[in-house]
A and B are shown apart, each in its own frame.
Chain A
């Protein structure tokens, strides 16, 4: 089994990149791989807790919590989230704030890396 690191800059809504990333992470975790996600730029907005489910169904927060329980490691970029006025204590439980050092360490040691830009 291997380690997949995904970096993503895309905002949560207005694109289906996040639906793809979370489905991909789920499939990889279920196959026994380790998955790490680095949220950069506007991607940090997806990490805010207390998201109200849309139409009682669609909710990134619950998807992310479920994947964390399956072993996903997902972190927010410190400078990016602070720039956007989001503080670590506002993050979904189990999501820490990390600096670029975390990202470089993890892409250097990962088996596979995929970086998804903005839309």
Chain B
């Protein structure tokens, strides 16, 4: 069962909740200021065994480029809808 966690901020990631989360098929979706996590080497987001997605429109509105993103999949709203209505059966907003 696909479980997705949405992270929308840079500072108050509820690390303890993220750490306690014990899910097999985990995805972390970075939106709004959460996109900055992609550029932080020791971000708590990267310590989870999870597939990481980052919202393209929120990267670009912050002057960031999808080309500089590594170890995360850049998705736009359309693709995010497909993920949400497809593999993300359960979704949580941190």
B94 and chain A: residue at smallest CB distance:
A117
| Count of A-B residue pairs with CB < 8 Å | 50
CA distance A108 to B29 in the complex (A): 24
Q: Does A27 contact B (CB under 8 A)?
A: yes
Q: Which of A1, A4, A17 is close to B84, meaning CB atoms less than 8 Å apart?
A: A4
Q: Secondary structure at chain B's binding surface: helix, strand, loop or mixed?
A: helix
CA distance A116 to B57 in the complex (A): 19
Q: Does A70 contact B (CB under 8 A)?
A: no
Q: Secondary structure at chain A's binding surface: helix, strand, loop or mixed?
A: mixed
Q: Name which of B15-23, B40-48, B75-83 contacts chain A.
A: B75-83
CA distance A20 to B57 in the complex (A): 10
Which B residues from 71 to 94 make CB contacts under 8 A with A? 77-78, 80-82, 84-85, 88-89, 91, 93
Q: Does A115 contact B (CB under 8 A)?
A: yes
Interface residues on A, range: 20 to 34
Q: Does B6 contact A (CB under 8 A)?
A: yes
Pairwise interchain contact A112-B84, C-beta atoms closer than 8 A: yes
A17 and chain B: residue at smallest CB distance:
B8
B60: shortest Cβ distance to chain A, in Å? Answer: 13
Q: Does B38 contact A (CB under 8 A)?
A: no
Q: Does A23 contact B (CB under 8 A)?
A: yes
CA distance A24 to B32 in the complex (A): 12
Pairwise interchain contact A112-B93, C-beta atoms closer than 8 A: no
Chain B residue numbers with a CB within 8 Å of A20 are 8, 31-32, 58
CA distance A113 to B6 in the complex (A): 13
Chain A residue numbers with a CB within 8 Å of B80 are 24, 27
B44: shortest Cβ distance to chain A, in Å? Answer: 19
CA distance A116 to B34 in the complex (A): 14
